[in-house]
């Protein structure tokens, strides 16, 4: 049996492009590719397009999502991060994990995007 709690953390740590499933108002799931990192044993994601991102708005509305790894789904609760020290650690984790991504990485660690950082709490 898969431990979904540690599985979600492992999935974020080992996967470059994550797949996150969020829910439309009609209950349908939409899977979107995103980046994510692990800091101090906790998975974090950030909306690279801020509040304009559809997956971000759905995650904010429902407070939950699921990480999708082939046939395995890791349900998570969404917790917004409003801690500058944690956001700096998340920035450093993005810089280390996505070092070769040039402009996309620079945009992801832009100070204005820190308000769109979320901690994933495996359910």
Residue 33 in contact with residue 15, Cβ under 8 Å?
no
- Per DSSP, the three-state class of 103 is helix
* Backbone phi and psi for residue 121, each to the nearest 5 degrees, phi listed first: -105, 105
Angle value at C-alpha 28, between 123 and 49, nearest 5 degrees = 75
Domain ranges, residue 17:
4-122
Rounded-to-integer distance, Cα 89 and Cα 12, Å: 16
Q: What is the mean pLDDT of residues 105-121?
A: 97
In total, how many domains does the chain have? 1
Domain containing residue 44: CATH number:
2.30.110.10
Please write the tens of the pLDDT for every residue from 34-86: 999 999 999 999 999 999 999 999 999 999 999 999 999 999 999 999 999 99
* pTM for the structure as a whole: 0.94
């Amino acid at each position: 049996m898969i431990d979904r709690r540690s599985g979600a953390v492992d999935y974020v740590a080992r996967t470059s492009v994550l797949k996150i499933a969020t829910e439309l108002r009609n209950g349908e799931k939409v899977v979107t590719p995103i980046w994510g990192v692990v800091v101090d044993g906790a998975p974090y994601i950030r909306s690279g397009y801020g509040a304009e991102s559809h997956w971000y708005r759905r995650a904010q509305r429902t407070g939950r999502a699921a990480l999708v790894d082939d046939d395995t789904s890791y349900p998570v609760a969404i917790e917004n991060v409003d801690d500058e020290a944690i956001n700096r650690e998340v920035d450093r984790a993005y810089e280390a994990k996505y070092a070769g991504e040039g402009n996309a990485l620079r945009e992801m660690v832009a100070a204005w995007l820190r308000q769109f950082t979320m901690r994933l709490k495996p359910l």
